[in-house]
Amino acid sequence: MQAGIIGLGLIGGSMGLALQQAKMFKTILGYDINPLHTQQALSLGLVDECVSFDEIQECDVIFLAIPLEGIIQALQKLDKTSPHTTIIDLGGAKEKIIAAVPPKIRKNFIAAHPMSGTEFYGPKAALKDLFKNKIIIFTDLENSGEFQIACAKEIFLSIGMRIIKMNSKDHDKHIAFISHLPHIISYALANTVLSQENPQTILALVGGGFKDMSRISKSSPIMWNDIFKQNKENVLKSIDLFGKEMLLAEKLIQEENWEELKEWMAKANTLQNFM
């Protein structure tokens, strides 16, 4: 079998490396709209060969590892795939992508979200074990073909992932809190410091706490802009709820209500009991 990967950045490149290790496919082909990414992917050995978009359509399995708006556009062009082709989207929000899948290829389509990543992007960020022991979320499988479901399960199990199934509405709602909101907070934290009169003086004092919280502010603005756009309502709700917690903390500090502030922080400590 042949696998094709559209998008050769962190996720697509890491998928190429993981598939090579799993040895499920005879050939792994790649396609990227950015010529530099194509050259880097080949030199780094992320794929066996880079081909045109049309040639990718001839693959048995096609992975879509590009920003979400690009995934929607690519789906409209995947009109030459066979009934047995499996098309797997790896985007971080699901409802709008699934709604945009042309009826002709809906059975071919698997909506999947690997819960793995780093703050880096581009082919040079690819890691061979990025997906190992991580969760892959499948959504709305009831409209996918049985063959495609079985194929996707085999692939992700072979690269060491654990499968969770849910509907796309719940996925987008939950992911807003554990993935999308943390990125917004990290971007906001970074911009708060950068807006100060002498940010370099502040950053000279940086310790572990700031580094931990600001790390993901280095993530791709292009990718995350699409995620915030497609999951707008859930992201806004999570920001609103987070804002209320910040206002509560502000109120407790202003009023010097130290005992209640301590209780508020102690409640937050219990989060680790669920992880």
Name which of 22, 47, 41 is nearest 129 in CA terms.
22
The predicted pLDDT at position 35 comes to 96
The predicted pLDDT at position 59 comes to 97
Sheet hosting strand 49-50, strand order edge to edge: 49-50, 27-31, 2-6, 61-64, 86-89, 109-114, 135-139, 162-166
The predicted pLDDT at position 78 comes to 94
Find the helix or strand (DSSP H, E) in which 27 lies.
strand 27-31
Kindly provide the residue ranges of all beta strands, DSSP E only, lying in 52-99, ordered along the sequence.
Answer: 61-64, 86-89
Across the chain, which has 275 residues, the per-10-residue mean pLDDT values are 97 98 96 97 97 96 97 94 95 97 97 94 96 98 97 98 98 98 97 94 90 94 96 98 98 98 97 90
The predicted pLDDT at position 207 comes to 87
The predicted pLDDT at position 206 comes to 87
Structural domains in the chain, CATH included, are 2-166 (3.40.50.720), 171-274 (1.10.3660.10)
How many C-beta atoms surround the C-beta of residue 1 within 10 A? 11
Apex CA 206: angle with CA 11 and CA 208, to 5°? Answer: 60
Q: In the beta sheet, which residues pair with residue 161? A: none
